[in-house]
Amino acid sequence: MIRTLFVMLMVAVSLTALGQETISTPVIIQKSTQKVKIGTKFYFIHVVQKGETLFSISKAYGVSQADISTENPDIYQGLKVDQALKIPALLIKAEDLKGVTEDADFIYHIVRKGETLTAIARFYEVSVAVLIKSNVEVENGVQESQVVVIPKREVPTEVLQRDSIKTPAAVQPIDTADFITGDYLMHTVKAKETFYSLSKRYSIHIDSLIKQNQETQGVLKIGYVLRVPLKAVVVAESKPVAIVEGLSNGCGCDSFKPVFSNPVHLAIVLPFNAKGKLPGSETGKINSDQQNFVNFYQGSLIALEMLRDTGYKVDLQVIDTKKDQDQLKRLSLATDLIIGPAYASGIKPVAEYAQQRKIFMVSPLAVAPKIVDSNPYFIQIWPTYNEQIDALADYVISNKEGNVVLIYESGKDSSELVTRLRNKLSAAFPPTTVGDIITKRFFHISYRTAQHFDALAGIFLKAFSKTTNNIVVVPVDNEAFVSDLLSKLNNLRVVYNMPIQLYGLNEWQRYQSIDIENYYSLGLHYISPFFIDYSSPRVKKFVSLYQKRFLSDPTQIAFHGFDVTYFFVPSVSLYGRTLDRCLSCHKDTLLQSSYRFRRVGMVGGFENTGMFRLRFTPEYEIIAE
C-alpha cells in the first residue's frame, strides 16, 4: 500500500538532524531567567552556545524537544551558535504579569491557595476542557500563584461584567523590553516590522542585520527573536517595547486562540490507480498523469518528513479515487484536512462529503468556480484565469511611464480576455493634454500572422513611440501567433530602434517553437503562480532530500506537493476548526509559491490570489520583481 511506503520512508529517515546526543564532555546549559510575553504566551529566550543540542536544551528547561521545535520552525536546518530560541515557560507566576489581570482577549487568573482547576472553571462558568486547551500545563493540576489564561470569548457576558474580575482602569498592557545578552540586543519581531524598519531603528545596515540572523533567510515573522550587535545600537532608540501580539493583525483570527489538533489527520485523495501498489510497479511503466500524481505525493512526503522533524504529528491516509469513487467511504471520521482530488470532474463528490462533515478540503490542481462560490470548506490553490489576467494588468499599470500597445489576434476584439484587458488599460492610461495638444497613451492592434512585416510596420509605427518606452501587452495563447509576433517585434526593435517592454502569458513557457532569445531581448514580463529560486537554501535542502529518497530530481509538481502540504498541515494544527477565520493572514515561506487567500463572497470558500511578477533580463536571467 502507498501508506506502507510512507511508513517505511518515515522509519528509514534518520532522527539525527534534531536532538541527537554524542558522547562527549557534558555541556552546562546556562538557563535564561528572563521571561518575555508574546501574544498570550510567556517564553524564555535562550541563545544557543557552542556544543549545545536540542536534547540538552530541552532537558535544562524541562520542555520537550517537540514543543521547542514547534515554537522555532526554522530549527530543522540545525542549531547554530548565537541562534535565539523561544522556550515555552510552562509555569507562569503572578510576578510575571506585572499587575495586569486581563487584556482585550484574555483574563489572567492568579491561582490562590487551595484553589482547584474545577473551582476556577466554575467561577468563570467555563468547562475544564477550555482551561486545559488554553493552558496545557494545568492538565495535572494548578499551583498557588500560577497564572491560568482564560479566553474571554468562552466566558459568558454577565460573568465578564462582574466587578470581581474587572481590570482597574490604571492597569496597562504588559511592557516587555528588548533585552541584552552578551554582545547582542535581542529584539522580538512585532507586526509590520521589517528588516528595513529595524535597520533604521537600530542604525545598522540592513545587510548586516540579515547576516546576523541568517536562519530567517531574509523573511521576518511575528515572534522571531533577532540579534542586533550592541555596537550598532543607538541607545536613545533602544526603548522598551510592549509585546502584546495576537496570532496576526488585520484578519479574523486576531481574537482566536490556536486550537491544536495533534496529530493532524490528513487524507491525500488522488487517482493513482495503484491497486495496492505504486502506479506502474507491475510493468515498470506509468503514464504521464500517474507520474505527476506520484511526484506530487513524493513532494508531500518530504514536507511531512520536515514537519515531523519540527514536532508535528500527522496521521496520513491515502485514498486512490482512480480505482473507485466509493473509496471516499474509507475516509476517517477524524479527518481534519483533505488534499485532492486532481481532476475537476472528481471534485464535486469530495467537496460535498467535506462540507457535510465540516472538513477543510484543498484542491491543489483543479479550478472549480461553482464549488468555491458556495462551499465554505473548499480551498482552491490555482488562481483563476481572470485573476491571472487582472494581475497582469496590474503589473502593466505599475509602470506609470510609457506608451501602452495591446496586440491580439484578428477577430478576437470582443473576446472576454481582450475586453477585460482593454477596459483596464484604457482607464489606467488616459490621453494626456498639454495646451491644445492631446497625446494618446493607449493603443490596441489586431492582425493576422500571414501579414508581411513591411505591411505591419506602418501600423505599428503609428502606435509605437521612438522616445518613450513601448509597453506591448499580448494576451494570446496561440503558439504560432506568438512566435510570429515576437519575431516582428524584435525586428521593429532593431530596425527602428524602438524601446520595447513585452508583457505576455505564463502559458508561453510551454511553447516549443519560440526562439527564447526573443524573450530576453524584448524583456518579457509575465505573471505566474510559481517561481523556484534554486539558489535558496530551502530549495537546495528539498532537492537534496528528494534526490536521496527517490533517486530523481523533483519536478515542478513535486515542489507543488511540498508547498501545499507544508502550508496546510501546520495551519490546520494551529487553527483547527477556526482555519476559515485565520487563513487569509496565515503566512509561511514556501519553495515555489506565495499563497494569499481570500474568501469568495459571503458563503463561499477560499481562492489563492498569490502570484509572482517575473521578468527575463538581458543577462539571461529570470527574476522575480
Q: Is 379 helix (H, G, I), strand (E, B) or coil?
A: strand
| Residues in a beta bridge with 44 | 35, 87
Please give the Cα distance from 124 to 34 (Å, whole number).
30
**Among 543, 567, 565, 563, residue whose Cα is nearest residue 555:** 543
Q: What is the separation of C-alpha 450 from the centre of its chain, rounded to a whole number of angstroms?
A: 46
- Average pLDDT, integer, range 435-445: 79
Q: How far is 229 from 182, CA to CA, in rounded Å?
A: 9
User: Which domains does the chain possess?
Assistant: 2-21+32-91+175-237 (3.10.350.10), 99-165 (3.10.350.10), 264-383+537-606 (3.40.50.2300), 400-528 (3.40.50)
Q: Residue 432 pLDDT more than 90?
A: no
- State the CB neighbour count (10 A cutoff) for residue 11: 7
Determine the Cα–Cα distance for residues 385 and 100; give it in Å rounded to an integer.
Answer: 51
Half-sphere exposure of 328 (CA within 13 A, CB side): 16
> What pLDDT was estimated at residue 39?
64
Lowest pLDDT segment from 343-347, 382-386, 501-505, 528-532: 343-347
26-33 long-range CB contacts below 8 Å, 24 or more apart?
Answer: 26/56, 27/51, 27/52, 27/53, 27/56, 29/56, 29/57, 29/59, 29/60, 31/60, 31/61, 32/87, 32/181
Pairing of strands 225-229, 184-188: antiparallel
Least confident segment among 160-164, 314-318, 338-342, 551-555: 160-164
Reported as a single tens digit per residue, the pLDDT across 508-554 is: 999 988 889 999 999 999 999 999 999 888 899 999 999 999 999 99
Cα 434 from Cα 453, distance rounded (Å): 34
**Per-residue pLDDT, 329:** 67
pLDDT tens for 392-406 read: 999 998 887 788 999
| Sequence letter at residue 143 | Q
Above 50 in pLDDT, residue 240?
no
Q: Which of 294, 268, 364, 365 is nearest to 554 (CA)?
A: 294
CA angle 117, 123, 129 (to 5 degrees): 45
Which pLDDT does position 328 carry in this prediction?
A: 66
* Per-residue confidence (pLDDT) for residue 113, from 0 to 100: 73
- Locate cell 472549480: which residue? 368
Mean per-residue pLDDT for 591-612?
91
What pairing do the DSSP bridges indicate for beta strands 360-363 and 378-380?
parallel
Distant-in-sequence, close-in-space partners of 246: CB < 8 Å, separation ≥ 6: 39, 105, 253, 254, 255
Share of the chain above pLDDT 70, in %: 75
pLDDT, residue 322, reads 67
* Burial class of residue 369, CB neighbours in 10 A (0-12, 13-18, 19+): middle
